[in-house]
Amino acid sequence: MRKPAEPLREINLLFVCLGNSCRSQMAEALTRRLGEGKVRAWSAGSRPLGYILPETAEILAEKEISIDGQWSKGLKDVPVGEMDYVISMGCEVSCPVPVGFKGRVIEWNIPDPYGHDLDFFRSVRDLVEQHVRSLLEGALASDKLNLKQ
């Protein structure tokens, strides 16, 4: 007799950047959209700014992606030890993982759009989206995620 299939557990992804106001917020929102129901996306900053830049919300809204419910937060505000993946958005970011961390740490080299114009924000958004799609399609393929288009 066959056992009933176990329900799939959502995979926890944490995106970390400096201020948690641009790149990691983009990654969180894009991951929520593309991996809806399959992953749980989080974001944090090593030195959080305390708010999300309006440019971040604007360029995501262009793709009909909302950041409602997201806020700028620090590493102490998220359960880092429970993450399956911790993704550092750029080389100036450090994310100390707890002793015994069993997840995977991934380094991306995404430029920081802070202080740049909307076209630069858009180019960063598109780069983040490419990386998120690649992560969800490749690194997490073993979990058989079906992504939204």
Token pair of 8, please?
């799939």
For the question of residue 112 being annotated catalytic, the response is yes
DSSP count for the chain of H helices, then E strands: 3, 4
Choose the catalytic residue: 22, 40, 112, 125.
112
Token pair 């080389």 is found at 91
Q: What are phi and psi of 113, to 5 degrees?
A: -80, -5
Phi-psi region of 90 (alpha: psi -120 to 50; beta: other; left: phi over 0): beta
C-alpha closest to that of 112 among 14, 13, 25, 12: 25
Choose the catalytic residue: 23, 32, 33, 125.
23
The edge-to-edge listing of strands for the beta sheet with 11-17 is: 39-45, 11-17, 85-88, 104-107
HEC secondary structure over 88-104: ECCCCCCCCCCCCCCCE
For the question of residue 91 being annotated catalytic, the response is no
User: Among all residues, which ones are annotated catalytic?
Assistant: 17, 23, 112
